[in-house]
Structure 1
Amino acid sequence: MDILIIILKVIIAAGILNVWLLRFNLKTEWRGNGAGNMNEEFSNYGLPSWMVPVIGFLKIGFAGLLIISIFKTDANLGFIGAVGMGVLMIGAIGMHIKIKDSPRRSLPAFLMLVMSAIIAFF
């Protein structure tokens, strides 16, 4: 089970870092309402522009905690990172529902939520 948890932590962190650092200004098939970049996606959700860096900081921070927890296992960093990421993924799914996106666009957030729950509970 320990190997599975490590793999899930790496998958979540890599996914978040990919979206928020490498693909921030790129159009992807998963962006809400077909947005061309992260700022446009948040605008499509009806969220203020100041939320983009706040959510980005939180997601990157929780992803960092998940990675650190692989090496520093005596702390609750993995639990904190997983729960924090799970809460943010619930919010992401809610935003996709709010703008009536197809369920397919919510799939990455849903999978991250499931992986976060597995990490938090084990």
Structure 2
Amino acid sequence: MGTVAFILQILLGLAFLFFGFNKFGSKMNEEFTRYGYPQWFKIVTGIVELVSGAFLLAGYWNDQLTAWGSLLATLTMLGAVVTHLKVKDAGSKYTVPVVLLLLSALLLYLNSGNL
């Protein structure tokens, strides 16, 4: 894998750790209520994001972890984008999930042979 892909992997790993940890704060309670999801789903989402981020970072040593981390990240962001569309959020509310979806999907594509 090239340098640009490796940098993308590290940046996505850090981003998913950051967003995963944010799910455990009370700030996201209102958002998940607004989405129509139970609060336990916020915790599950946070755990999946933390695992994605950890896999992406650990992928430095194991290419399979990069592939699985990018798959989890892609599916999670697909769910986030669908959720924002479902509640008819303004585009600015789901710009970050769309960007993360596209970057995760690109990383998944680059590592798809390792699944």
* TM interval, short-chain normalised: 0.7 to 0.9
1:80 aligned to which of 62, 68, 72: 68
Q: Secondary structure at the match of 1:100?
A: coil
Structure 2 unmatched runs, 5+:
111-115
Query: How many residues were matched structurally?
Result: 110
2:37 aligned to which of 42, 47, 70: 47
Q: What is the identity percentage for the equivalent residue pairs of Structure 1 and Structure 2? A: 26
Please give the alpha-carbon distance, in whole angstroms, between the structure 2 residues aligned to 1:57 and 1:20.
6
Alignment root-mean-square deviation, CA = 1.8
Q: Does structure 1 retain, via aligned residues, the 8 Å contact 2:71–2:108?
A: yes
What amino acid does structure 1 have at the position aligned with 2:13? A
- The alpha-carbon distance between structure 1 residues 8 and 89, as it changes in their structure 2 partners (threshold 3 A), is same
Structure 1 unmatched runs, 5+:
27-36
**Normalized against structure 1, the TM-score is what?**
0.81
Q: Does structure 1 retain, via aligned residues, the 8 Å contact 2:21–2:46?
A: no
* More helix, by proportion: 2
Moved over 3 A (4+): 22-26
Please give the alpha-carbon distance, in whole angstroms, between the structure 2 residues aligned to 1:63 and 1:17.
5
